[in-house]
Amino acid sequence: RLGEYDKAERYYVEALKSNAGYDEIFFNLAVIRVKTGKLSEAEKDFRTALFINPFNKPAYQGLAEIYMKDLKANAVKGGEIIEKGADLFEYDPAFYDMSAYFYLSGGEIERAVEIYSRGLLKNPFYTPFYERLLNLKAKSKTAKDAMAFYSFCREMDLRINRNPREALSAIEEAFAYKDNYFLKYLSAKALFALGDLDSAQIRLGEVLKLRADFSDALYGLAAVYEKKGRYKDAAETLKKLLSFEPQNVKAAAKLEEVSKKI
């Protein structure tokens, strides 16, 4: 088996001579070198892959796995490279979580707090980040703002069920409303509860312009279409949601239900 890895390594090294700008080749070479214990070379290859294509998600994971093998020595370095991934994949909690984990392992508490805070602001219903900030007794302005925003969103979500008109007013008056995809989503949810389907549809369109892969907004838009009797549009919206989240059981079940009405 080792011979097979050596052969594969030689193949990719040779391929780079004529295709040095392909991040996939550097990535595959790094994977092979990890398997053969050449971690230093593998680290360089993963980093080169990211230099060519910063959106190569598996390359971040590959570096994280290398740095985890000697966490004490690589904690800060790991935190910094994964933080770069969080800057690009800004709605993916896993990047914030892993970056903060590395920083905490290196004793960089304040940097971990900032990462959790940023992650919570981008994903206001992601309770684990809120709980970690509480456990760390975070007191920075960013942390306080993130925790207050989390609490506000949670309260508004509950208030929509009790008094959607009051909730809508409070949401639209919020300081961050204009450019925040999540507050716009909550306002759309309130409009839907009030039966204003046209306004809810417009608002959800605004949400999806800010974050095209937001599954809750896509599901909400499908619900609007279904209420309007636009079953084909509802189905297409659910298919788009499932292209982002193939394992979303709720969306799959709703798609099956709506498709029967077409």
41-87 pLDDT, tens digit per residue, is 999 999 999 999 999 999 999 999 999 999 999 999 999 999 999 99
Q: What is the pLDDT of residue 179?
A: 82
CA 222/CA 251 separation, integer angstroms: 9
Residue 1 has pLDDT above 70, yes or no: no
198-253 pLDDT, tens digit per residue, is 999 999 999 999 999 999 999 999 999 999 999 999 999 999 999 999 999 999 99
Residue from 106, 47, 13, 15 nearest 39 by CA: 47
Q: What is the pLDDT of residue 3?
A: 67
CA 96/CA 103 separation, integer angstroms: 11
pLDDT (mean) for 32-37: 94
Percent with pLDDT over 70 in the chain: 98
Residue the block writes with tokens 């392992």: 105
The three-state secondary structure class of 213 is coil
Residue 114 CB-half CA count within 13 A: 10
Q: What is the pLDDT of residue 6?
A: 87
240-250 pLDDT, tens digit per residue, is 999 999 999 99
94-112 pLDDT, tens digit per residue, is 999 999 999 999 999 999 9
Q: Where are the alpha helices (DSSP H) in the chain?
A: 2-16, 23-35, 39-52, 57-68, 71-88, 93-105, 109-122, 127-135, 141-162, 164-173, 181-193, 197-210, 215-227, 231-244, 249-259
Which of the four pLDDT bands, split at 50, 70 and 90, describes residue 19?
A: confident
Residue 2 has pLDDT above 60, yes or no: no
pTM, whole model, 2 decimals?
0.88
124-166 pLDDT, tens digit per residue, is 999 999 999 999 999 999 999 999 999 999 999 999 999 999 9
